[in-house]
Amino acid sequence: MRQVALVAVVALAVGAAAATIVQSSRGRAASLEQSRSQQEQLTRRLDGLERLLASAPGRSGAPQAAVSQGAPASTQLVRDSPTKEAAKTEATPEKRAEHAQRLQAANAMVDRGIQLGQWSMADMALLGAATNGLSAEERDQLMSKLTVAINSDQIKLDMRHRPGQ
Amino acid sequence: MKAFRTALNVALAGALLTSPAAFAGYQFNQEVSISDSGGSYPGAGGNLGFVRNTADQTQYLGCYTASGAGLCFATDSAGRSRACHTGNANMLETMRLLADDSYLIFYWDTSNNCAMITVHTDSSTQKK
């Protein structure tokens, strides 16, 4: 009698263990399936992002580290530009004239630096003040003119001359 | 025995005084270096503190930011200057991270836009 009871208990235990194993393997399979599904979703998103990046306007061949620091300057400037342009067209003729004058003065400042072949920190500060109120695109054009002159050895930087000196 | 100890102490003190390197950690000092053709982009860089402490009064480097625009510049000991400009908010933020013991490197593209700016600050660089 005892033996029968023992066999029954053992059979029950084996059955319970088998049920647990089956349940656990089903759980693992479900979890695996979920992971696969998430992976597929991620892959699809990455593909989408890659397509988006590839079709983005103004994308340059900048190194990866530069991309992590932000898009090239020109991309942002182009993006900023329409709002500023719209604001400009809504401005009064007086404001437009003032804006044009400011732009002309800033350009003249850079031209003078190129003519003299020298650019100081004081010039830099004056240009910073003169470009205040200009659009990002206009500022970029002025800065570009200046850096072209520096990098082609037309201008020597003399940062010893500070503002107010 | 006492004389030996005294001599040993004097020798040890002398050795420590004349060997400052024994206390120094790794140091990285770089004067202004300009490369017009290296790699994919031309670039320039150097240690701000080390450059400041060089004997010549010619070389310097740094960045200038104002009104949403920025310019990084460098002049080497030969007087050759290079610069790049940007209006990119992330790069302007990087420029503002410059400290007096930073190691600055910047690269520019064919339009003289900054292609990459790196500011490296750690114990290896010299303070102004």
Q: How far apart, in whole angstroms, are the C-alpha atoms of residue B101 and residue B122?
A: 8
Q: Write the CB contacts of A79 (distance below 8 Å, at least 6 apart in sequence).
A: none
Task: Say if the Cβ atoms of A71 and B79 lie within 8 Å.
Answer: no
Mapping DSSP to helix (H, G, I), strand (E, B) and coil, where does residue B59 land?
A: coil
Neighbours of B125 (CB within 10 A): 20
Structure token pair of residue B90: 């992330």
Residues from chain A that touch B115, judged by Cβ atoms under 8 A, are 60, 62-63, 66, 72
Give the list of residues 6+ apart from residue B78 with CB closer than 8 angstroms, or none.
B58
Helix (H), strand (E) at residue B72: strand B69-75
- Residues whose CB is less than 8 angstroms from the CB of residue B123 and which lie 6 or more positions away in sequence, other chains included: B25, B26
List pLDDT tens digits, range B4-59.
455 545 554 554 444 444 456 777 788 999 998 866 899 999 999 999 888 888 89
- Number of A:B CB contacts under 8 A? 113
Residue pair B84/B108 in contact by the 8 Å Cβ criterion: yes
- Residue in B60, B83, B87 nearest the CB of A73: B87
CA A48 to the chain's CA centroid: 17
Report chain B's C-alpha Rg in angstroms. 21
What is the model's pLDDT at position B72? 96
ipTM field: 0.75
**Cβ-based contacts of A73 with chain B (< 8 Å):** 85-88, 91, 113-114
User: What is the arithmetic mean of pLDDT over B111-124?
Assistant: 90
So what's the pLDDT on residue A99? Answer: 93
Residue B66's pLDDT band (cuts 50, 70, 90): confident
Q: What is the mean pLDDT of each run of 10 residues along chain A (165 residues)?
A: 58 54 54 56 47 39 34 34 51 89 94 94 88 89 94 87 58
- The CA-atom distances, in angstroms, between B72 and each of A131, A141, B69 are 17, 16, 11
What pLDDT is attached to residue A60?
A: 38
Which chain B residues have a beta carbon less than 8 Å from that of A70?
A: 88-91
Which pLDDT band, with edges at 50, 70 and 90, does B96 fall under?
A: very high
Q: What is the pLDDT of residue A26?
A: 58
For β-strands B103-108 and A156-158, DSSP reports them as unpaired
Helices A121-130 & A93-116, crossing angle to 10 degrees? 160
The structure's pTM equals: 0.60
* Greatest pairwise CA separation for chain A in angstroms: 115
The string of pLDDT tens digits covering residues A117-142 is 999 988 988 998 888 889 988 999 99
List the structure tokens of B114: 């900054």
Tokens of A5: 């009871």
Please state, rounded to an integer, the average pLDDT across all residues of chain B: 82
Q: What is the C-alpha to C-alpha distance for residues B124 and B104, in angstroms, rounded to an integer?
A: 13
pLDDT of residue B37: 80
Are β-strands A156-158 and B69-75 bridged in parallel, bridged antiparallel, or unpaired? unpaired
Structure tokens at A107: 């350009």
The confidence score (pLDDT) of residue A24 equals: 52
Residues of A at the B interface (Cβ-Cβ below 8 Å)? 60-63, 65-66, 69-77, 80, 121, 124-125, 128-129, 131-132, 136, 139-140, 143-144, 146-148, 150-151, 153, 155-157, 159-160
Contact A157, B83 (CB under 8 A): yes
pLDDT at B82 over 50: yes
